[in-house]
Structure 1
């Protein structure tokens, strides 16, 4: 019969068939802990334990009970003598609700490291064993390098669960003493501060253990008389007397100074659990829990540094980043002005199409440029639309509008300019062997068009030819759009997801982390399509820059704006 053993292993009847204890098993704390987890809405629990059998078996039992309750132990750390690394791991893993299982001397080491890692405060709750001395964190310990004030700061607000070792009710026990009368008599016998006396808290259990044994022996004596035996005949080989003592202890039920004394089938005491919280450096009772009846008696005097129980993990708040409305309006106004200018240019070009100077600049290609610029500028509006303006259902249409307006606008505007510069380069840049042949046939340059090297009547730049070339190049440059059309059916561009940015800390003092996200149009093979289109358009840009550079010194009246076109191509490339 023991009054201070709490190891769950002692409940094994196969290993310890005749063992009883008035101190409940350490696993009796676990139903209380689970009840508190559920009360405060926590589902993610972390643990740190000293590597001993009693704490390992207790934690295994807690793990099983937590799973049965639909909760989870997310992180599990252990140490033998130095808790520094496990505490750092808990900090790194963002543990918030932490159950600590270790002896008092190790508890001081743990909380010295807790202070160093700042693993305390309003974001954290520690659950400890309640049988430490009330001033355990104030005791000077050469094994730690933290001050008393630092230790007090680190342990503030932690919760303890402890077996009720002293009857909280003022009722008389079988010894005709109340629990308070027992404590008063004990303190007079001790003659010193009870907090400095080892085993003081377990004294009621020891007292009741003696009463349990005495009552069991009395009952055994009465039963042995009926069989013609005596207690004095007991020896360790006498199974009959042993069985009688076992039955008498197993059926014990009386009121002791520690409360109602009764044993379960494994010989462990069944008792209430006291729940306390360290408030202002002093332990305050905040409730009791009776696991046999699943009854939680709550005083509603629990206090939290942050005003309420903390979250069991860092809550991530997703926020969408939207385009600045001032920027969107400003750019939209500029794009609108650009569209108006393009329409004016288009109307001017059409109205004055009969003027020779306009005809020499290839007005049809100029019209294409104006229409392309209009479409490209119009793409500003769908590009600026996001979740601030429209719902998810409209995003597929907006994504398609972005693709077609910007792509088609670029093809028309750049394609028409590319046609002009291609034509000028084709006409005026000849190979050296052809130049030599022309010089040999007409060494004096007679019969040439003024300002050119082209014979009269041989000018290839008639409107039909250049328009045919323009149509051919535009069709070639816009080759991506049949592909884009098929892409729209095979791999439609829709709002598939968001881009996530680095998590940010909120400006206010909140226990959350902000995850900025940006909505975007995408498809399952977006990188493939972008690679094809960017590669194709990029080659045309490079070729256009080359042709513009090659024809920068050419002068002709047939296309009188090709130098301005070359400068425009440079600007587009930039």
Structure 2
């Protein structure tokens, strides 16, 4: 009962506001307007202001609907998210089943209201327009065939975020989403996008302060149409315990993205051939400095009036002629005329160039703003590689010594190969000598490579030159080298086994030569010792020569030369 009384009251206000301007020759055309509760300031207040000024402009202009007076009947839904859509549908049915007859519906500023209302209104052939509903779902032409909006879909913000992220080369982003019950805040990134209205945005910013998610390491990206000083208004919000200083600390340097809401040059404003007066231009300047959404609401009403104006001309040429006041909720033909007239309109309005896409969405520019002058941080830890070079003198000395080392190693390899049969080289193993020489050459080459300036390396070789060996790969390389060494030792032992040889002292050698029968030969090689003892027991001079022969073999085995 209260809702019905409120509606009648508002209708009387709408009518009485225009009765003084009506002339006896003009026919009244009614359009419906849905808004949220008057107790909620902000968007609805701005939309109503822009709508009122646009209606004054249209009704005072002789080039737009000159035979008609355009009047809006307003009504308001509750602000309760649970009942808002139901209230709006109730108001829509009141509009439809009670007089006066509506020709068009200006949809709610809230997408939660606009979606169910516009879906139902299409069944009654009511064209719907909106200057602020931004849900991407409203772009569905099958579900909302008679809906148009002069405010872009939220998908345009996605393109703005993408451009911003590409510009700063940010790849990791957290998004804080608002729904009817919950917010989710992620801390796994330093770039945080917030999609929330003012009250919830204040709670998020306060939580960010309490959790130290702010400062030079973080960037907060917010919706740009939040009104100035939105973070300072916390009357009755028990969830926000942060002070004004705390809130400013979090928001210092934050970015905001919003749709361009006003023309950059009001002298370009041209409503499809209708030029505003100087008084109108002053009003536009005032609106720009005070309101964000008022320009969209203004252009929505003018756009609707121009569509009706063009439709009236088409209807008058029909046989028999028809007129806008003949419209009924069963008249799909006239609704289609109005829709086609609206689709073909182009104008430069208060909010800028007005042009609709194939989905009947506004095509618009974006504005990206930053609070104060904070520099953009990175989106995480970045690795920065710096070339650390020794002085040119040290590098030259290193190159020269390494080159000399390479030449010396090559010389050693040549000598090792040429004299590999000499006993002094053979006893040190020519093969191992060769490996040592090659290793030395490689070591000197590495010294030269590590001393090069990166600018001296061809670009195609930089990735190879700068590649790093990890701990795992380095460990595996060492293990492989150890296995190779073990294999080489095993093969060596199998081919040329090691033998223990007792080297006699100088006194033993002298005594053995002089008197081989009286010398203790226990220190001689076991096989040679047995041979010497046998021969010593079976014959004079032969035993001495046999002992000397055994001694000579022993000395040869250890590489000792006997002279004399």
Using structure 2 for the length normalisation, give the TM-score.
0.47
Structure number, greater radius of gyration: 2
Q: TM-score under structure 1 normalisation? A: 0.46
